[in-house]
Each structure stands twice: as structure tokens, then as C-alpha cells.
């Protein structure tokens, strides 16, 4: 992510000055930070900027960590928690006194035999018809009486006289034995604010921001400088609106015919919160303008799709892991309530899937009492 594992590629790189390169290679001689007891999560945490500048220098932050982690989390990398965003590297410093020394040690100890069987697993995976096809398939398989689509939930309240929860929705009220909240923390907060204020307050401590994706379709011949990679990140020091771009059709060939390229750009985030309120035409124009400069887009896109994600991107500021643990403890004390996904600090599909599986296991292990026809509801 931010640590140079081989010196020669770093020395040949045009991304850094010679002063910046030497500073990065001096990392093994930088003293380890000691701040508070090793079991104090908050005392050990610091910002990504603090950690990277301290270990590798300012250039490593400005030219690698800030665009990469700021773009990945649509966050302000100067506020991002190092333990949350760079946890394995922070642990290497704690255990070895140096990130680079720790990387060399762990690489040597985990080297696999050269005769490993089978091809390597692909780094990018998805469903052929997109992730939405999974939901479509579930709708086909789940009995219609189990689903209520187009039904917005207003409030969720525990039934103190009996086990379960009352859910007030736009289609009326219902009761459920188990409630799974798989939505961002701000939405969970709104649903629980009146009935369970302590949990709602803990949810309110988890900060979220908004982002916009602008998907543009180009003729391949109109992209004069298309890199041979899956995308790129853009430093905030550069005069561009987009945070990053992903070449969706290069990752997944089924996304477009060979003569076309789908470019997904990202705008907004913690450092550009007003992006969400710009109209579609402005967002498309800004994205295309940046792609003109960055990958030589010489003609207007053939089509475009703008998607807005309001207060849906978790922000992992310093102390985030401790706040999630406090939330987890409070939710566990409420029988039948489960918070999964980003509302419980998960980021990315694998972490969200793991979070959901844990909740499913808890529901399955709860003893079945009373009416077996009671429902399991999700929001």
C-alpha cells in the first residue's frame, strides 16, 4: 500500500525526488513510536498522515498514501485512522520497530513453495451480469409472502412485554423476532433514535460522508492514453474534481464490447461534500474534462450514468475501532437486534459478507421460543 518492498523499483521511479526516495529507504532506522500502553487502542491510534510522514516522509504521504487511501475511502487522509486503514503496517511497527523490517521478516517466513499447484486466483471477481443479478435471483427464490419491497421503515421499537420488535413502515406495522439493520449508521440512528437512544447515540459517533459515481462509455479509439491497468487515484493537490477512476470494462470484459471502454469516476467524499448537490450535467462535464487531461479522452462519451450515495461511505477517523467495539457491545445487549455492514464498521464486500454471516449465525443459534411463525425482518 505505502511501503516500498524493493529498493531498485523505488530508485528508478519518477514519482519521487531523490530526497524523498532516500527518506523512504531510511525507514528501518526511524525510532518506533511509543504512546501509552499497548492495550490502549485509542492511545496507540494516530492519523494516516502522522504515521506515514513519521515512518516514510512527507512525499510518501503526498504522492502515495493521500491519493490511494483518501481515494479508496473518499476520506481526508489527514484524519483517517492509521490502525483502521493501515492496521497490518501499524502492527509491523509495533512488533518489529520498523515497517520495512517487519515486511522482510513476514515475507521470508511465509514464502510458499515454488511448486504450488494451480493458477493464481484472479484479483478481481464479480458476477457476469453484475451484483444486482444476485438480488434478482434471491427475489425469484424467496417466497413472495416473505418480501415487502418498496416499503420504507420509519421507526423500530422493542416490544418490552414480549420478545421481538415492532416495525413502523410506510405500508403499516409488523412485528419481528429478529431485526437486521444492513444500512449506513446515520440511517440506523434515525430508526432507533426514539426507542433505543443509547444505541442510537453510539451509531451517531460513526461518521459517514457522501460520494458520486459518474460512469462514462467511450470508444476505445477515443482514449489516447489509456493505461494498461484497472484504474488510478488522483492526489488532492492536483487541479481535478475526480478522486479516482476505475476501468470497469478492463476489470470485467463482459461489461462492454471490445471497441468500447467503461470508465467509472468518483467525486465527492469528505473533502468535496458539495459534489452530491451538483446537477448531472455538471458532474458529467467535470468527469469528462478530467479524463481529457488524464487519459486523453478526445471525444465526448457515448453515454453516461450518474449515481449518488448520500451519507453511505464510512469515515474511519482516529478511535474508530474503539467506537465500533462500544457499539457492538451495546447492540449485543439487545435481544433480536443486529447491525451489519458499514453500520458496524465493515468496508468493502468481503467485510460486509463476513458481518452478515456472523449475524446469521447468531440468529440461527438463538433458542426458538414461542410462535415459530414470527418473522425475521431486515432494513
pLDDT tens digit sequence for 286-322: 999 999 999 999 999 999 999 999 999 999 999 999 9
Question: What pLDDT is stored for residue 369 in this prediction?
Answer: 47
Listed range (115-124, 154-163, 203-212, 222-231) with the worst mean pLDDT? 115-124
Distance CA 66, CA 62 (A): 5
Please report the pLDDT score of residue 370 as a whole number.
Answer: 44
Query: The pTM is what?
Result: 0.85
Q: Each residue of 179-205: b (16+ CB within 10 Å) or e?
A: bbbbbbbbbbbbbbbeebeebbebbbb
Per-residue pLDDT band at 371 (split at 50, 70, 90): very low
Q: Which of 115-119, 362-366, 374-378 has the lowest mean pLDDT?
A: 374-378
Q: Give one DSSP letter per residue of 167-202, joined into a string.
A: EEETTEEEEESEEEE-S-HHHHHHHHTTT-HHHHHH
Q: Output the average pLDDT for the chain.
A: 89
Instruction: Produce one character per residue of 124-138: b if its CB has 16 or more CB atoms within 10 Å, e if not.
Output: eeeeeeeeeeeeeee
Each residue's pLDDT tens digit, 167-218:
999 999 989 999 999 999 999 999 999 999 999 999 999 999 999 999 999 9
Q: Is the pLDDT of residue 360 over 50?
A: yes
The arithmetic mean of pLDDT across residues 280-291, rounded, is 98
Find out whether 263 and 242 touch, Cβ atoms under 8 Å: no
SS3 48: helix
What pLDDT does residue 374 have?
Answer: 44
Cell 527518506 sits on residue: 23
pLDDT (tens digit per residue) in 21-60:
999 999 999 998 765 555 555 567 899 999 999 999 999 9
Query: Please, are residues 294 and 245 in contact by the beta-carbon 8 Å criterion?
Result: yes
334 touches 251 (CB < 8 A) = no
65 pLDDT above the threshold of 60:
yes
Question: pLDDT tier at 264 (50, 70, 90 boundaries)?
Answer: very high
Q: Which of 212, 238, 214, 152 is nearest to 187 (CA)?
A: 152
pLDDT of residue 161: 77
Res 106: pLDDT: 76
- Per-residue pLDDT band for 118 (boundaries 50, 70, 90) equals low
pLDDT of the residue at 373: 42
Q: Which domains does the chain have, with CATH numbers?
A: 7-108 (1.10.3110.10), 149-196+334-378 (3.50.50.60), 213-312 (3.90.660.20)
Q: What is the percent of the chain where pLDDT is above 70?
A: 89
Q: Looking at residue 41, what is its pLDDT?
A: 56
> What's residue 242's pLDDT?
97
Distance CA 190, CA 154 (A): 8
Q: How many residues does the chain have?
A: 379
On the question of pLDDT at 8 being above 90, the answer is no
Using alpha carbons, select from 357, 345, 355 the residue that is nearest to residue 84: 345
- Inform me whether the pLDDT recorded for 365 exceeds 50: yes
Amino acid at each position: 500500500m505505502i511501503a516500498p518492498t524493493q529498493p531498485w523499483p523505488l530508485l528508478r521511479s519518477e514519482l519521487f525526488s531523490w530526497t524523498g526516495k532516500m527518506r523512504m529507504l531510511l525507514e528501518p532506522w526511524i525510532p518506533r513510536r511509543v504512546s501509552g500502553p499497548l492495550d490502549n487502542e485509542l492511545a496507540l491510534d494516530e492519523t494516516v498522515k502522522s504515521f506515514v510522514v513519521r515512518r516514510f516522509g512527507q512525499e510518501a504521504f503526498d504522492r502515495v498514501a493521500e491519493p490511494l487511501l483518501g481515494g479508496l475511502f473518499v476520506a481526508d487522509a489527514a484524519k483517517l485512522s492509521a490502525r483502521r486503514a493501515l492496521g497490518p503496517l501499524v502492527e509491523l511497527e509495533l512488533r518489529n520497530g520498523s515497517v520495512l523490517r517487519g515486511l522482510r521478516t513476514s515475507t521470508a517466513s511465509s514464502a510458499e513453495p515454488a511448486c504450488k499447484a494451480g493458477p493464481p486466483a484472479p484479483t478481481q471477481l464479480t458476477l457476469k451480469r453484475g451484483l444486482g443479478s444476485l438480488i434478482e435471483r434471491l427475489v425469484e427464490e424467496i417466497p413472495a409472502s416473505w418480501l415487502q419491497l418498496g416499503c420504507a421503515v420509519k421507526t423500530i421499537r422493542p416490544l418490552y412485554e414480549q420478545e421481538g420488535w415492532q416495525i413502523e413502515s410506510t405500508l403499516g406495522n409488523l412485528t419481528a423476532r429478529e431485526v437486521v439493520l444492513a444500512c449506513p449508521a446515520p440511517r440506523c440512528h434515525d430508526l432507533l433514535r426514539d426507542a433505543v437512544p443509547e444505541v442510537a447515540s453510539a451509531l451517531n459517533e460513526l461518521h459517514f460522508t457522501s460520494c458520486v459515481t459518474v460512469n462514462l462509455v467511450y470508444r476505445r479509439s477515443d482514449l489516447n492514453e489509456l493505461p494498461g491497468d484497472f484504474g488510478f487515484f488522483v492526489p488532492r493537490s492536483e487541479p481535478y474534481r475526480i478522486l479516482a477512476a476505475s476501468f470497469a470494462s478492463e476489470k470485467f470484459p463482459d461489461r462492454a464490447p471490445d471497441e468500447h471502454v467503461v470508465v467509472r469516476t468518483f467525486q465527492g467524499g469528505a473533502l468535496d461534500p458539495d459534489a452530491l448537490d451538483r446537477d448531472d450535467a455538471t458532474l458529467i462535464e467535470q468527469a469528462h474534462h478530467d479524463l481529457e487531461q488524464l487519459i486523453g479522452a478526445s471525444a465526448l462519451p457515448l453515454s453516461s450514468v450518474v449515481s449518488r450515495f448520500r451519507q453511505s461511505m464510512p469515515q474511519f477517523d482516529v478511535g474508530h475501532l474503539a467506537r465500533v467495539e462500544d457499539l457492538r457491545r451495546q447492540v449485543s445487549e439487545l435481544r433480536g437486534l443486529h447491525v451489519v455492514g458499514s453500520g458496524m464498521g465493515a468496508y468493502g464486500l468481503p467485510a460486509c459478507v463476513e458481518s452478515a454471516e456472523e449475524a446469521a449465525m447468531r440468529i440461527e443459534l438463538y433458542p426458538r421460543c414461542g410462535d415459530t411463525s414470527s418473522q425475521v425482518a431486515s432494513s
